[in-house]
Amino acid sequence: MEKIDYLIIGQGIAGTTLSYNILQRGKTCHVASDDNSISSSYISAGVINPVTGRRIVKSWMIDELMTTARLTYGGIGELLGENFITSREITKLLSDVEEENLWLSKMDDLPEYLGYENDSERYRKHFNDYRSVGKIKNAMVVNIKQLLKSWEKFLTNKQLLIKARISPEEMFVENEGVRYRDVNYSKLIFADGHNGLSTRFFDFLPYKNAKGEVLHIRSKEYSLNEMIKGTSGIIPEGDTFWIGSSYEWDSKSELPSKANYNRILKRFDQMSKFEYEIISHSAGMRACSVDRRPYIGRHPEIDAFWIMNGLGTKGMSLAPYFSLHLLNHIEENKPLIKTVDIKRMLT
């Protein structure tokens, strides 16, 4: 029987960065993926924002995460002869004096990430009712759709992709690993996002999922090639703009809804003053852990089963770092950070 080191379930950003790092180590792997164009990763904006929240604080571990993200996405790009990341600024429309004062006071704490636009009037042509304009420096955008498709093609060409939805009946846990379709895998890593097989095997991991919906628009009047953050987000994507997104906690439906469509449009229309046409409307599920830290680690009873999930709203920055972190643990016995180790949910 053929023997392979790893089977990864899922080729969203977690499965992509895991399989890249496994191959980089000279190990063997197969990736099982049903359709990554319906994954949360595919619908995401691909943004790595170094500051977060209303209080404008540095995102958790952001310096380390960004360093590894640059290396990983850069490395995949080099391997495939493409470029998947761009360093960008995010233009933040500050709504009132209070928000402006907070921003100005935070600029001293985070000079590497926060700036201020002196010519804020140039945005009046496109946007309503903002007080002034801040800048988030050193953000990054991952060209996520292209990355997922190019990595899928690479895996296919190397015959490492199993294009199927794996069902539990087809997997057999054996003494030395897991058997699936006449291949013995030493380890299986669930990188299957929302509602995947891992929810069945790792049923002690609680999720608080957030459905996100986005619109793609096209506009002849709007010409800014910047990421904008106001009451709504605008991100240039090819010749269209990504608009959104919404947050709906623990939604029962994975489908786009009329209510969220209207919500996104209402916010966007309050903020913008240019004509546009709507091209598409889509939805994705963010698999969020209950404590906002990823779920990483080994199954408490089945030694061959591992998981990397719960990347929530920040998969683009978390996946590169925690793929490496998990593999360093498995291959070199380096300890897992306690705040991400799934053991925390067992105590």
Q: Which residues bind ligand FAD (CB under 6 A)?
A: 9-15, 32-36, 39-41, 43-47, 165-166, 191-194, 196-197, 212, 214, 244-245, 284, 286, 309, 311-317
Q: How wide is the angle at C-alpha 30 spanned by C-alphas 344 and 293, nearest 5°?
A: 20
What residue ranges in 10-131 does DSSP mark as E strands? Answer: 29-32, 47-48, 51-52, 57-58, 85-94, 114-116
CB 47 within 8 A of CB 139: yes
C-beta of 132 vs 232, nearer to ligand FAD: 232
**Least separation in angstroms between CB 78 and ligand FAD:** 22
C-beta of 32 vs 228, nearer to ligand FAD: 32
C-beta of 243 vs 330, nearer to ligand FAD: 243
C-beta of 132 vs 321, nearer to ligand FAD: 321
**Least separation in angstroms between CB 123 and ligand FAD:** 21
* Secondary structure letter of residue 155 according to DSSP: H
CB 304 within 8 A of CB 177: yes
Q: Could you tell me which of 202, 205, 217, 344 has the C-alpha nearest to residue 272?
A: 217
C-beta of 272 vs 309, nearer to ligand FAD: 309
C-beta of 132 vs 177, nearer to ligand FAD: 177
**Least separation in angstroms between CB 96 and ligand FAD:** 25
**Least separation in angstroms between CB 39 and ligand FAD:** 3
For helices 144-157 and 62-80, give the axis angle rounded to 10 degrees: 50
Which residue's C-beta sits nearest to ligand FAD?
Answer: 12
C-beta of 35 vs 64, nearer to ligand FAD: 35
**Least separation in angstroms between CB 331 and ligand FAD:** 21
**Least separation in angstroms between CB 282 and ligand FAD:** 8
* Cα separation, 193 vs 198, whole angstroms: 8
Residue 322 corresponds to which tokens in the numbers above? 């925690």
* Cα separation, 160 vs 330, whole angstroms: 21
**Least separation in angstroms between CB 105 and ligand FAD:** 26
> In angstroms, what CA-CA distances link 227 with 41, 47, 166?
19, 9, 38
Output b/e per residue, 267-302; b: 16+ Cβ within 10 A: bbeebbeeebeeeebbbbbbbbbeeebbbbbbbeee
C-beta of 177 vs 244, nearer to ligand FAD: 244
Radius of gyration for the alpha carbons in the chain, expressed in angstroms and rounded: 21
C-beta of 104 vs 183, nearer to ligand FAD: 183
Cis peptide, bond prior to residue 257, ω within 30 of zero: no
**Least separation in angstroms between CB 305 and ligand FAD:** 13
Residue 283 corresponds to which tokens in the numbers above? 């939805």
**Least separation in angstroms between CB 81 and ligand FAD:** 24
